[in-house]
Structure 1
Amino acid sequence: MRAVVGHTFGGIEALALETIDTPQLAVGNVRIAVRAAGVSFANLLVAQGKHQNRPLLPFTPGTEIAGEVAEIAPGTTTSLKVGDRVCAGLSSGGFAEEAVVDAQNVFRIPDGMPFEEATHFPTIYATTYAALTWRGMLARGETLLVHGAAGASGLAAVEIGAALGARVIATAGGPEKAAAAKARGAAHCIDYRSQDVREAVLEITGGRGTDVVFDPVGGDMFDVSLRCVAPLARLLIIGFASGRIPQIPANILLVKNLSAIGLYWGFYMAWGKSQADAPTRARVRTVFDDLFKLYEDGHLRPVVDAAMPISQFAEALRRVEDRKVIGKIVLRPGE
């Protein structure tokens, strides 16, 4: 089969499209014929050897796929059937024509959902929903500040936050990206290139600040968030797309009664060394039930910036690296 392979960690230039053996099945696994694979900032970190989930060499990037069940390992306990249309989350291996995945991390998708849109669900929408509900306890009527609001994670937070009844304030760089967030449910959009984010948030909230922050960016934007949150606010740490991991002054957490809360979805999917227990793994399935219901009710409209053949994986990754993407770029391994 064809797959993107890295024999060393060295970024995009160290990856190549190769023909390799199909992965072997073990008990508990499902083989998926991959029709679409999502491209993300995390893929760049993996290629550089900087991600917390560091694969063994050689490796194939890709953590979010959609396609059809091609084979189920004998002895696997699952309700899945060959031919089912599914999405799946995996620690690596998605940029390939076939992928072997833990059956517990494979989810049937609605009949009308395109494979390209389905790639948003295994990590992006799932991370966001769990962060806002499980960890952030976002309540109807609260104010949610979303950074990086034109990226896949940010747009997901805007949509889910609005669906949960929050007033969403989005930050993005440039009018086009701000408009994308507004179209997905943001009540207010702040262009951080031309506006002071802190002043804008405080003006919008009447000086009170925001109740919850969804932050996949880190760096300077996290520092700004600390200065425009309400007492008892929850800051959800999702990632560090800016490249800088912020340091949090504990005195600010103390005097404003703040909570800084991390969420790594790989824990819930039992990737790498994660050891999520059976009740936690079962809880994950409820997330997808809720998300697919929101999709079918029209609350979630995944934005596919472009769908590209797998041979153009390097261009897709560079567009993500250069922050030229609104929503998500998707690779089609069959092309």
Structure 2
Amino acid sequence: MSDLIRTIANLTPDEKAELIAHLKAGKANVPRGAEIDFSRNHEWRFRSDMPFDLAAVSFEAGDPDPDCVQIDARAAGVNFRDVMIALRIYPMAPDVPSNMASDYAGVVTKVGSRVTRFKPGDHVVAMNIGHVEQGHVRENSHFAKCLNIYEMCVFHKPKQLAFVEAALIPTVYLTAWYALVNCARLERGGTVLIHTATGGVGLAAIEIARHIGAKIVATAGTPEKRAYLVERGIEHVFDSRSSRFAAEMRSAGIVPDTILNTLAGDLMLESLKLLGPFGHFVHIDKKDVATNAPLPLGYLIKGLSFHFLDISLLLRNPRHLESSFAELASLFEAGSIRPIRYRSYRAAEVKQAITEMSRGTHLGKLVIEYDSAQ
């Protein structure tokens, strides 16, 4: 195990990017470590004793800081970034801590002295950056059951959603919403290409694009995933693992106005060529960013807009975060968009969930459910 840790720790940026690509293609798993041993005490957190050795340890949450809300978690979302954090290969956003479990839903147990929007007993959703104590975010406060979160990161849960459904919102729905609405300004009648569309962000983007009234084109990596998209009513579905999708789209006369991109390297550049004049390209994959890959500006000659989106940076702009969440919450409450497909795991199965995420074979989102009595 120690040899494996040293090996990965010494990888170059290109080698780390290759590892990320293998993980996404289902060719590698989270390295095996010690078995997870969760305490029955509800005030525990999930951490790594060594870079890839997942274990649990108890800690006292304490009273929340003046600007914080204490939450008893009922559900937490699992994202691919959690795999990268577990492997210590996540390209960190500036001034944003990298703790696993960025999506939370739960019940407020305490509030700080300056908190005005919440009271104990409120059902909430949170975009989590980690447990806060004495003005600092605690590193390695992964998958905490009870934690203190800044008020600006917490929102009232849409009433008709279960906790496990609400935990789907922060990362995947906020990413899809900000990409399509704020970055791309997708309009009714427009055409959007959603790459790897059976993932959490992809399925959320389908919900949002349908609400807007846009035409949807999609890609996915396996025949089973492509069949699922066809079952969802998407007429044009292509292979995300081959550049053939570009030629096939041209043959079908498909010219997207917007591309929500998760592909890297040559496949990303092939996608850029597909956009019509003044199209919008929203890139949410970090592989090329992590390796500082070049982007030839000639690809933008049709007046294209290129956006790189890391939704965690919304924490640096609370006004945008609050307005985006409010719009999403109103759509959920009106029934205009629905929760995406998900698979839930018990709290003692966090390791299994992260391993499943690393394989890339699942559809939709993975969620951890906590026992309310835990």
TM-score (norm. length: structure 1)? 0.86
Of 232, 236, 240 in structure 1, the residue corresponding to residue 282 of structure 2 is 236
C-alpha displacement at 1:320, in angstroms? Answer: 0.8
| Matched residue, 1:251 | 298
Of 11, 36, 44 in structure 2, the residue corresponding to residue 2 of structure 1 is 44
Taking only the aligned residue pairs, the percentage that are identical comes to 29
Amino acid at match of 1:110: P
Matches within 5 A, 1:61-76: 61-76=100-115
Contact 2:98 2:129 in 1 (8 A): no
For 1:292 and 1:34, the matched residues in 2 are separated by 19
C-alpha displacement at 1:14, in angstroms? Answer: 2.1
C-alpha displacement at 1:220, in angstroms? Answer: 4.1
User: Counterpart of 2:155 in 1: which secondary structure?
Assistant: strand
For 1:242 and 1:325, the matched residues in 2 are separated by 24
- After superposition, the C-alpha distances for 1:282-327 in whole angstroms (9 at most, x for unaligned) are 3432222221232234343323432111221111111111102211
Q: Determine if the alignment matches structure 1 residue 329 to structure 2 residue 371.
A: no
| Matched residue, 1:137 | 185
Q: Determine if the alignment matches structure 1 residue 223 to structure 2 residue 269.
A: yes
C-alpha displacement at 1:87, in angstroms? Answer: 0.6
Structure 2 CA distance for partners of 1:55 and 1:286, relative to 1, 3 Å: closer
C-alpha displacement at 1:55, in angstroms? Answer: 11
Amino acid at match of 2:56: L
Amino acid at match of 2:308: G
C-alpha displacement at 1:47, in angstroms? Answer: 2.1
Contact 1:65 1:88 in 2 (8 A): yes
What 5-or-longer segments of structure 2 have no aligned partner?
Answer: 1-42, 131-140
For 2:60 and 2:229, the matched residues in 1 are separated by 42
For 2:63 and 2:92, the matched residues in 1 are separated by 21
Q: Determine if the alignment matches structure 1 residue 27 to structure 2 residue 66.
A: yes
| Matched residue, 1:284 | 321
- After superposition, the C-alpha distances for 1:204-227 in whole angstroms (9 at most, x for unaligned) are 3x26x2111101343443122023
| Matched residue, 1:300 | 337
- After superposition, the C-alpha distances for 1:68-125 in whole angstroms (9 at most, x for unaligned) are 111101232x221211111100123451211211111111112220111111211211
Contact 1:32 1:98 in 2 (8 A): yes
| Matched residue, 2:169 | 121
Of 118, 127, 138 in structure 2, the residue corresponding to residue 80 of structure 1 is 118
For 1:313 and 1:304, the matched residues in 2 are separated by 19
Of 9, 29, 48 in structure 1, the residue corresponding to residue 87 of structure 2 is 48
Contact 2:226 2:237 in 1 (8 A): yes
Aligned length: 318
| Matched residue, 2:31 | none
Larger mean CA deviation between 191-200 and 310-319 belongs to: 191-200
Matches within 5 A, 1:164-183: 164-183=212-231
C-alpha displacement at 1:67, in angstroms? Answer: 0.7
User: Counterpart of 2:120 in 1: which secondary structure?
Assistant: coil
Amino acid at match of 1:302: P
Structure 2 CA distance for partners of 1:7 and 1:183, relative to 1, 3 Å: same
For 2:245 and 2:63, the matched residues in 1 are separated by 50
For 2:272 and 2:242, the matched residues in 1 are separated by 20
Of 147, 154, 157 in structure 1, the residue corresponding to residue 202 of structure 2 is 154
| Matched residue, 2:348 | 311
User: Counterpart of 1:269 in 2: which secondary structure?
Assistant: helix
Structure 2 CA distance for partners of 1:152 and 1:256, relative to 1, 3 Å: same
- After superposition, the C-alpha distances for 1:233-286 in whole angstroms (9 at most, x for unaligned) are 111011237998653211111x2222111122222223xxxxx3xxxx234322
Contact 1:198 1:224 in 2 (8 A): yes
For 2:346 and 2:57, the matched residues in 1 are separated by 14
What 5-or-longer segments of structure 1 have no aligned partner?
Answer: 271-275
TM-score (norm. length: structure 2)? 0.77
Amino acid at match of 2:107: E
| Matched residue, 1:273 | none
C-alpha displacement at 1:136, in angstroms? Answer: 0.9
Larger mean CA deviation between 82-91 and 188-197 belongs to: 188-197
Of 306, 318, 323 in structure 2, the residue corresponding to residue 260 of structure 1 is 306
Of 91, 111, 133 in structure 1, the residue corresponding to residue 129 of structure 2 is 91
